[in-house]
């Protein structure tokens, strides 16, 4: 059975996910078979595994740091907020529908057997499990039915490291207050405190850490500096979404939808010299970018209406008229079409129909069964500024409730954006597309299907595929094409290996944590 260690935080966004990823990397470097685990994750950033199952991206990042393939057992419960008081509940990678928060709270303990089944499978396969908590363990109104913090730590008998965020201020009160609100048995599980995101001279903290240790009776096992590492963030609390960046030589604008999902699609652009990646939520922030991205969203119709009400839709349409490239992904792709229909009430009770932006000849129908599949393919013969992308290979994944069809009569002069090979388990059954079965493996559990996907009209581009910009050369070709249009030389733009870059970032993270944490004490608390 694997040895567990759990990272909990004094609040959301205290740095649990990054700390867990760093520990995964350290343990992997030290020769241990390591896997991440988070029993319940609430996030709009998700990923589709090779089995066609959905899980939170934070555990995908941690699995990458550990050098292993992501598996849905690493995140058995995923909650994707659909409204302020409800979420889509995904268990072992498959949606069980939308639930109000009160209803989910009343039934979540019934999911403990499924959580433990995932945990035990991982425990039998690995040496160490790095467990991430959620929010704070001191939410006293939620503790009685906790399945993700101290409740889980008790179930799996895990020692706990408690992290506080000094960058937000009040870190000593955070840590002491959290410990004080726990039951005695829970306090005894906390074996070490971590002060995270520190800037400045460590010695200035020494009197405070000594007093904190005395008050809590728990050692401070590290002061982690504010790290300059480029690793995917967990959710919409990400500092990446703050719009404080000035336009660069090539300026990319992402519409920051209220229910934005999978904004990690655009992270690759932020590491290219001379490129600004701005998240825009008001017309006054939009300006005249070189390209506008319409990202994924958990509620396409409501977010389109939000754009319509605050003037962003009209502003984007004006940019499109001026031949500024517009690229929609998933929900953003659906918005570009003529109409969106939700007869079954998938996104909203009672069902409705909403006109789209009218930039592509698309009709989208929302259905209760979710499409979940990994994709490989190649881009077609594209028009417009981004024509240099034509024929380039891509890979990624699809995750959506809508099925989008092309109005061939009105889109006769346009082109399919790509031809894709879809690798999908039979369980997905996305039957709304007409596709030719090309191959079935010996177990009959995977099919390869080829189809035309996405659509291109001039400088308007759209597709369902997440993660395609991470494929080697895609982001760089987009940037160099936009630069060339402006007559700008982008000598710094090179065809980079984004996967190699990410691995370098994980190693950099591990180096910082090794120098900041008492790893000998951490190994000792785990019995290693």
Which residues touch 164 (CB under 8 Å, ≥6 apart)?
9, 10, 14, 171, 172, 174, 175, 178, 193, 194, 195, 196
Q: Which of 503, 45, 477 is nearest to 229 (CA)?
A: 503
Annotated catalytic residues are 330, 466
- Please say whether the beta carbons of 288 and 265 come within 8 A: no
The Cα 166–Cα 178 span in angstroms is 14
- Measure CA of the first residue to CA of the last residue in the chain; give whole Å: 13
Q: Determine how many CB atoms are found less than 10 A away from the CB of residue 344.
A: 12
CA distances from residue 266 to 133, 170, 198 in whole angstroms, order as listed: 27, 33, 27
Strands (E), 281-361: 291-294, 296-297, 326-329, 339-342, 352-355
- Tokens of residue 328, six digits: 């929609």
The Cα 255–Cα 236 span in angstroms is 13
The Cα 501–Cα 433 span in angstroms is 36
Handedness of CA 58, 40, 93, 262 (dihedral sign): negative
Q: Which helix (H) or strand (E) holds 19?
A: helix 16-29
CA distances from residue 383 to 239, 278, 387, 459, 482 in whole angstroms, order as listed: 35, 25, 5, 7, 14
CA distances from residue 464 to 335, 400, 414, 420, 426 in whole angstroms, order as listed: 12, 8, 17, 11, 20
The Cα 322–Cα 485 span in angstroms is 14
The Cα 501–Cα 274 span in angstroms is 18
Q: Which of 95, 115, 99 is nearest to 48 (CA)?
A: 95
Handedness of CA 5, 10, 13, 19 (dihedral sign): negative
The Cα 270–Cα 285 span in angstroms is 18
């Amino acid at each position: 059975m694997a040895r567990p260690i759990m990272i909990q935080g004094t609040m959301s966004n205290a740095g649990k996910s990054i700390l867990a990823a760093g520990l995964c990397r350290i343990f992997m470097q030290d020769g241990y078979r390591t896997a991440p685990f988070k029993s319940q994750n609430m996030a709009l950033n998700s990923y589709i595994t090779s089995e066609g199952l959905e899980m939170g991206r934070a555990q995908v990042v941690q699995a990458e740091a550990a050098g292993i393939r992501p598996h849905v057992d690493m995140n058995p419960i995923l909650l994707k907020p659909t409204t302020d008081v409800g979420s889509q509940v995904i268990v072992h990678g498959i949606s069980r529908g939308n639930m109000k928060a009160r209803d989910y709270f009343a039934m979540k303990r019934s999911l403990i057997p499924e959580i433990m089944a995932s945990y035990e499978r991982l425990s039998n396969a690995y040496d160490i499990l790095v467990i991430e908590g959620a929010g704070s363990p001191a939410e006293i109104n939620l503790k009685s039915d906790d399945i993700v913090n101290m409740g889980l730590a008790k179930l799996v008998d895990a020692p706990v490291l408690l992290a506080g965020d000094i960058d937000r201020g009040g870190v000593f009160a955070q840590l002491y207050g959290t410990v004080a609100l726990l039951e005695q048995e829970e306090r005894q599980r906390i074996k070490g405190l971590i002060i995270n995101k520190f800037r400045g001279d460590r010695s200035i903290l020494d009197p405070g850490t000594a007093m904190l240790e005395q008050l809590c009776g728990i050692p401070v096992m590290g002061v982690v500096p504010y790290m300059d590492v480029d690793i995917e963030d967990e959710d919409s609390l990400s500092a990446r979404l703050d719009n404080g960046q000035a336009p660069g030589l090539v300026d990319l604008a992402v519409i920051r939808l209220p229910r934005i999902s999978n904004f990690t699609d655009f992270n690759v652009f932020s590491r290219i010299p001379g490129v600004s990646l701005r998240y825009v939520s008001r017309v006054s922030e939009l300006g005249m970018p070189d390209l506008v991205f319409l990202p994924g969203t958990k509620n396409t119709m409501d977010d389109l209406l939000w754009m319509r009400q605050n003037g962003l839709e009209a502003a984007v349409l004006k940019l499109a008229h001026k031949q500024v490239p517009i690229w929609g992904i998933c929900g953003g792709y659906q918005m570009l079409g003529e109409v969106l229909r939700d007869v079954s009430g998938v996104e909203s009770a009672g069902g409705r129909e909403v006109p789209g932006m009218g930039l592509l000849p698309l009709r989208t129908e929302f259905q209760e069964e979710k499409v979940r599949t990994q994709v490989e393919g190649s881009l077609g013969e594209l028009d417009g500024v981004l024509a240099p992308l034509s024929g380039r290979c891509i890979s990624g994944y699809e995750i959506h409730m809508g099925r989008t069809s092309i109005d061939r009569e009105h889109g006769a002069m346009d082109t399919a954006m790509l031809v894709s090979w879809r690798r999908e388990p039979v369980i997905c059954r996305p039957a709304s597309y007409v596709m030719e079965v090309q191959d079935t493996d010996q177990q009959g559990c995977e099919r390869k299907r080829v189809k035309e996907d996405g659509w291109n009209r001039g400088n308007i581009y759209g597709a369902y595929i997440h993660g395609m910009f991470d494929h080697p050369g895609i982001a760089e070709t987009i940037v160099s094409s936009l630069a060339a249009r402006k007559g700008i030389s982008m000598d710094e733009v090179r065809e980079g290996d984004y996967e190699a870059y990410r691995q370098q970032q994980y190693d950099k993270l591990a180096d910082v944590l090794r120098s900041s944490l008492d790893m000998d004490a951490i190994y000792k608390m785990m019995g290693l």
